[in-house]
Structure 1
Amino acid sequence: MPDTASPLRPIPILVYHQISEAPPKPAPFRSLCVAPASFARQMALLKLLGYQGLSMSGLLPYLRGEKTGKVVGITFDDGYQNNLTHALPVLQRHGFSSTCYAVSKLLGKTNVWDKDIGVAQVPLMNADELRLWVAGGQEVGSHTQNHARLLQIDAAAALAEMTGDKAALEGLLATPIRHFCYPFGEYGPEHVVMARQAGFQTVTTTHRGRSSAMNKLMELPRVPVVRSTSLPVFWLKIATAYEDRDRG
């Protein structure tokens, strides 16, 4: 099967981080906090418009061109506890699935990779909460063991971050971990090879755009949803070429 997405319909893969109220100004990266009410409205709009929200496993047949339909991928980076408390009930209400990319050595801790730049520290899901996420019909993907900057470590360490995280999460959840996300969106050609070597079926990036026939499964672009994303702009992001122009 060719390592490309279906040319029949552009597929948006949404990327969220926190589903929570934003910290007060001037906190850095507060844009990555989407209010629970906003998230609920966005998911309701998807349902109203006839979209099916899917995890990366659910989306894979569409990305391969094996199935067609009105689908949207839903992903969450880092594994924040507020994904479980605020996003899961909404996803379940609409019959949607999603993929949350977790950092195995930081389960139950906080987003320490952001601490030095002043980002507010908030809880990440612990092992039991991650199991609740899966029991709730959602999927877990890999985000390295330590939220590593792959371009700043050697090849052996980078591969260990991928394979170690995959193995740890599989042991914890007793389910295959098939999907990966590059932390910070940083990677090189060698990491694409490593991801395939580690056994991942898809890898998502921070390149902006909807998926198309030009996208390899190990370098999938996504559609960012942030605090300021209004409902009309949300529609533009999923249903038009609004994000495709920014693909990089």
Structure 2
Amino acid sequence: MACIPILTYHNIAHAPVGARLRSLYVAPRRFAWQMGLLARAGYQGLSLRDALPYLRGESSGKVVVITFDDGYRDNVDSALPILQRWGFTATCFVVSAALGAFNRWDAEQLRVEKPMMSLSELEHWRDAGMEIGAHTQNHVHLPALADADAEQEISGSKAELEAQLGQEIMTFCYPYGEMGAREREMVARSGFAAAVTTRRGRAQSDADLFALPRISVGGHHLPHVFPLQLWTGYEDRPRS
């Protein structure tokens, strides 16, 4: 049974002075080193959409899935050229009501307003062969919402992005990684093909496509941690 790492990134940038949760920032030079390491090791970096045949067990090969949460502008400015250098694709999970705005759901907590991609920047990301996934309309805590509100956040984000971009949105990311049986069923019923969590681990080729685990790549990690996350059982053990 194949192990397929699904990487999680947020910002590809240097952390601003005074920002909290600096682990959410991976410096562009570090990201470039990580992508180069994957390529030199014979891996193909894929979006979640492009990796679905591998996750379903229909294809085999050395692949790693690359995902970005929220839709920050630095993803298109800093990450995209590096991905293109190696011929990789990636998925950006976008908060549909925040295009061209900022991270209003956690700006106060993080002490920084981080700019989000505008529609034109998102179109540039798409036109470069990258995938756009949904991340709700407002980056909410889904389990805290009533059924109708949770349904709207999930299906509404898909509908809004499809209307603005003129293409199908196939994949979803649960905000804060929060999901249970109800949220899983809502995502499946909304017409998505797969969804990712923040549960730690490498995905298996027979994994539940609507509760996929991921590997969080932190800017605070020493360089040797990245290979451990990919090629050993380091991420497959429960957190203490």
Q: Distance in 1 between matches of 2:178 and 2:98?
A: 19
Q: How far 1:136 moved relative to its partner?
A: 1.1
The C-alpha deviation readout for 1:113-156, integer Å capped at 9, x for no partner, is: 00232431110001010000001110100000011110111111
Q: What stretches of structure 2 of length at least 5 have no aligned partner?
A: none
Percent of aligned pairs sharing the same letter: 49
Report what 1:230 is aligned to.
222
Is the Cα contact below 8 Å between 2:4 and 2:205 reproduced in 1?
no
- 199, 207, 210: which one aligns with 1:207: 199
RMSD: 1.3
Is the Cα contact below 8 Å between 2:195 and 2:212 reproduced in 1?
yes
- 44, 47, 50: which one aligns with 2:42: 50
TM-score (ref. length: structure 1): 0.94
Amino acid of the structure 2 residue aligned with 1:58:
D
SS of the residue 2:100 aligns to: coil
Q: How far 1:229 moved relative to its partner?
A: 2.5
> Does the alignment pair 1:22 with 2:15?
yes
Is the Cα contact below 8 Å between 2:56 and 2:206 reproduced in 1?
no
Amino acid of the structure 2 residue aligned with 1:18:
N
Report what 1:242 is aligned to.
234
Is the Cα contact below 8 Å between 2:55 and 2:206 reproduced in 1?
no
Q: Distance in 2 between matches of 1:151 and 1:225?
A: 25
Q: What does residue range 160-171 of structure 1 map to in structure 2 within 5 Å?
A: 160-171=152-163
Q: Distance in 2 between matches of 1:153 and 1:66?
A: 36
Q: Distance in 2 between matches of 1:131 and 1:113?
A: 24
- Greater alpha carbon shift after TM alignment, 37-46 vs 145-154: 145-154
Q: Distance in 1 between matches of 2:10 and 2:56?
A: 26
Q: Distance in 2 between matches of 1:169 and 1:33?
A: 26
Report what 2:150 is aligned to.
158
SS of the residue 2:97 aligns to: helix
The C-alpha deviation readout for 1:38-62, integer Å capped at 9, x for no partner, is: 0000000000000000001111000
Q: How far 1:246 moved relative to its partner?
A: 3.0
Q: How far 1:214 moved relative to its partner?
A: 6.1
The C-alpha deviation readout for 1:31-83, integer Å capped at 9, x for no partner, is: 10000000000000000000000001111000000000000000000000000
Q: Distance in 1 between matches of 2:108 and 2:74?
A: 22
- 106, 109, 134: which one aligns with 2:101: 109
Q: What does residue range 35-184 of structure 1 map to in structure 2 within 5 Å?
A: 35-184=27-176
